[in-house]
Amino acid sequence: MNIAIIGYGKMGHAVELCASKRGHSVSLTIDTPSDWDSKSSLLYKCDVAIEFSTPATAVQNILRCLKAGLPVVSGTTGWNDHLEAVKAECNSLGGALFVASNFSIGMNIVFELNRQLARLSKNLPDYSVSIKETHHIHKLDAPSGTAIHLADDIIAEHKASAWHLADPSQTSEPFSIPITAIREGEVAGIHEIRYDSPLDTITLVHEAKSREGLALGATLAAEFLVGKKGFFTMHDLLQTEP
C-alpha cells in the first residue's frame, strides 16, 4: 500500500516504521497547514490515510481525505461530538472511515473484559466503579478517548448512568463513574478499571509499553480498510482475525 500519514508526530513516526516493516510505503506526510497547501494533490496517489493529529484538526483532516476519495483510519481522540456528522459525510461521499479510541489489540481485549465485568457486577451494589488513566504530558485531551470508551461500555451494561472527570475538591455524583486523568512523563498509556467494595477490590489494568502496539493496530486497520466502503471500528477488524 501507499500510505498518507496525516499528523507526523510521535505516533505518525511509529506508524511509518511499522508500515515499512510490513512492506508498505509512506508516500505522503502532512503535519502543518502549509503541508496541506503544498502536498494535498499527492493524496490521489495514496491508497489509504492514517490520521493521528489533534482534536482541533482531526475532523477537517478526515473530511479532506474523504473528499479526495481516500479511505481514512483515524486514531485521534477528543472529537467524538462530531463523529455522527463525519460518518454521515463519509456515507454521502461513498467513502470508507475506520475510527478507534485505541488501536492496541490488547486494549481491545480489555474492552471486552470490561463489558463482561460490568454485566456481572450490575446487581452488586457494594461495588463502586472508577477509572484511572495515565498518559504522557503531550496528550491534549482528558480524559482519554479510551477511558471514555471504557466508561460508555460500563454505562451500557451497568447501573451507572454517566461519567465525570474526577475532581478531588468535589463530591462524586451517585451513579456517575469518576475518571481520574493523569499526565506525566512519556507514559504510553495506562488504563485501570477498579471495582471497590468493603470486602475486596477488583481491578482490570492495561499498560501499553510503547506506541508500537498502537501503530501495528492502525496499520492492520489500514490493510483491512482498503477496498471497503462505510464506517468501521476495531470490532469489525477483530471479527475478521482468525
Active-site choice (13, 136, 139, 164): 139
Q: Does the structure show a pLDDT above 80 at 231?
A: yes
- Name the band, by pLDDT with cuts 50, 70 and 90, for residue 242: very low
135 is an active site residue = yes
What CATH code is assigned to 105-207? Answer: 3.30.360.10
**Residue 240's pLDDT is what?**
59
At 152-172, the pLDDT tens digits run 999 999 988 999 999 877 766
Number of neighbours of residue 128 by Cβ within 10 angstroms: 15
Active-site choice (135, 149, 158, 206): 135
Averaged over 191-209, what is the pLDDT?
A: 96
Please state which architecture CATH assigns to domain 2-103+212-240.
3-Layer(aba) Sandwich (3.40)
| CA 135 – CA 142 distance, rounded (Å) | 9
139 is an active site residue = yes
**% of the chain residues with pLDDT over 70:** 98
Domain positions in the chain are: 2-103+212-240, 105-207
Averaged over 133-140, what is the pLDDT?
A: 92
Q: Does the structure show a pLDDT above 60 at 5?
A: yes
